[in-house]
């Protein structure tokens, strides 16, 4: 499954089903692995796509966009040109996936129960390899996740991904060096913005809530990583193939990742407060606060 290796972690766990009851060992390994910054792969967990849903598997449903997005709280779907029955079919598929991903997180990570909140769900029907985008939006470059419009205020970004490629093709990622190495390399260049700037962004509706100094620095880090061609090529990294019908999860604000190729994926985002972690000192918030020697939220 992997080539090369250097401190970067990808671990497979033999969890059998979305709603299976995991053993205590499995739960401990999942929690510790995720917080250490590993990608946890669940090779046996696939998502069952119904025939009516499969009929909609085409990049055409997103037009010039890359994702269909779904809000599980309101059941509102966006980013697709599908209408009528097709739109309802897509919504149902995303709702079902979202529900299963939430059940998985609940069972596998009971330590986070009651603290983790469900964010957006997405369906990604466009082939990644060869997709044309600006460097900032180019997810074939290694990066940590940061959201420009929806600040996380220090919370962790936990994501569950499932490869639903109907032809059995893998999704291929690169996984980069650990967060403390990234922070060590780029941290001194990250700037805490002037206090008034966050208010202006919110007032202009660039952000939906206040962009904290942490959010601003994570965006800078995301950009600095992506923009640095030498870093992209030379930093410690490994290539990972996630097979069709497999699921994987990671704190993508911590794990340096790049999606290199693949088509048709489902994804669910969760947010977790830092104080819900077993080891909060591993959070990007705490690591950046230590480097800057000040609070960032």
Q: Which residues bind Fe ion (CB under 5 A)?
A: 145
What is the smallest separation between the CB atom of 85 and ligand AKG, expressed in angstroms?
A: 27
Nearer to ligand AKG, 170 or 280 (CB): 170
* Residue 171 binding target from ligand AKG, Fe ion, none, CB below 5 to 8 Å by type: ligand AKG
Distance CA 205, CA 171 (A): 35
Stretch that binds ligand AKG, among 44-52, 68-76, 230-238, 257-265 (CB under 6 A): 257-265
- Is residue 121 a contact point for ligand AKG (CB under 6 A)? no
Nearer to ligand AKG, 150 or 202 (CB): 150
Q: Which two tokens stand for residue 132?
A: 């044309």
What is the smallest separation between the CB atom of 105 and Fe ion, expressed in angstroms?
A: 18
Task: Compute φ and ψ for 294, nearest 5 degrees.
Answer: -160, 165
Centre a 10 Å sphere on the Cβ of residue 103 and count the other Cβ atoms it contains. Answer: 14
**Are 216 and 193 within 8 A, CB to CB?**
yes
Distance CA 156, CA 254 (A): 8
Show the DSSP H helices in the chain as ranges.
24-36, 51-54, 84-108, 179-186, 195-203, 213-227, 229-234, 284-292
Stretch that binds ligand AKG, among 77-85, 113-121, 146-154, 252-260 (CB under 6 A): 252-260
| Secondary structure in 3-state letters for 144-212 | CCCCCCCCCCCCEEEEEEEECCCCCCCEEEEECCCHHHHHHHHHHHCCCCCHHHHHHHHHCCCCCCCCC
- Is residue 289 a contact point for ligand AKG (CB under 6 A)? no
Distance CA 170, CA 53 (A): 20
Centre a 10 Å sphere on the Cβ of residue 4 and count the other Cβ atoms it contains. Answer: 10
- Is residue 207 a contact point for ligand AKG (CB under 6 A)? no
**Are 148 and 219 within 8 A, CB to CB?**
yes
- Is residue 171 a contact point for ligand AKG (CB under 6 A)? yes
Nearer to Fe ion, 93 or 259 (CB): 259
Distance CA 215, CA 267 (A): 22
- Is residue 120 a contact point for ligand AKG (CB under 6 A)? no
- Is residue 252 a contact point for ligand AKG (CB under 6 A)? yes
**Are 139 and 128 within 8 A, CB to CB?**
yes
Stretch that binds ligand AKG, among 17-25, 90-98, 251-259, 273-281 (CB under 6 A): 251-259
- Is residue 253 a contact point for ligand AKG (CB under 6 A)? no
Distance CA 164, CA 245 (A): 6
What is the smallest separation between the CB atom of 290 and ligand AKG, expressed in angstroms?
A: 25
**Binding residue (CB under 6 A) for ligand AKG from 29, 35, 38, 145:** 145
- Is residue 232 a contact point for ligand AKG (CB under 6 A)? no
What is the smallest separation between the CB atom of 157 and ligand AKG, expressed in angstroms?
A: 8
**Binding residue (CB under 6 A) for ligand AKG from 90, 265, 285, 296:** 265
**Number of residues in contact with ligand AKG, rule: CB under 6 A?**
8
Q: Which residue is nearest to Fe ion (CB)?
A: 145
Q: Rule CB under 6 A: which residues touch ligand AKG?
A: 124, 139, 145, 171, 252, 257, 259, 265
């Amino acid at each position: 499954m992997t080539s090369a290796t250097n401190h970067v972690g990808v671990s497979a766990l033999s969890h059998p089903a979305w709603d299976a009851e995991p053993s205590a060992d499995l739960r401990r390994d999942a929690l510790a692995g995720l917080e250490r910054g590993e990608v946890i792969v669940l090779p046996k967990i696939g998502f069952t796509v119904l025939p009516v849903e499969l009929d909609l598997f085409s990049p055409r449903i997103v037009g010039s966009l890359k994702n269909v997005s779904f809000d599980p709280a309101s059941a509102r779907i966006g980013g697709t040109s599908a209408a009528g029955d097709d739109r309802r079919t897509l919504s149902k598929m995303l709702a079902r996936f979202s529900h299963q991903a939430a059940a998985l997180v609940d069972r596998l990570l009971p330590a986070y129960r009651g603290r983790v909140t469900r964010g957006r769900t997405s369906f990604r029907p466009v082939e990644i390899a060869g997709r044309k985008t600006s460097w900032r939006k180019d997810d074939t470059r290694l990066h940590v996740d940061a959201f420009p419009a929806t600040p996380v205020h220090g919370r962790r970004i936990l994501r569950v991904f499932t490869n639903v490629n109907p032809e059995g093709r893998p999704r291929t990622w690169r996984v980069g060096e650990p967060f403390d190495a990234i922070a060590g390399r780029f941290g001194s260049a990250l700037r805490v913005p002037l206090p008034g700037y966050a208010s202006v962004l919110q007032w202009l509706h660039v952000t939906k809530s206040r962009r904290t100094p942490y959010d601003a620095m994570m965006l800078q880090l995301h950009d600095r990583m992506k923009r640095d061609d030498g870093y992209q090529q030379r930093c410690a990294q490994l290539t990972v193939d996630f097979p069709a019908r497999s699921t994987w999860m990671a704190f993508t604000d911590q794990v340096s990742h790049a999606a290199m190729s693949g088509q048709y994926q489902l994804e669910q985002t969760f947010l977790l407060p830092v104080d819900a972690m077993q080891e909060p000192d591993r959070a990007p918030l705490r690591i950046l606060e230590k480097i800057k020697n000040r609070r960032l939220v």
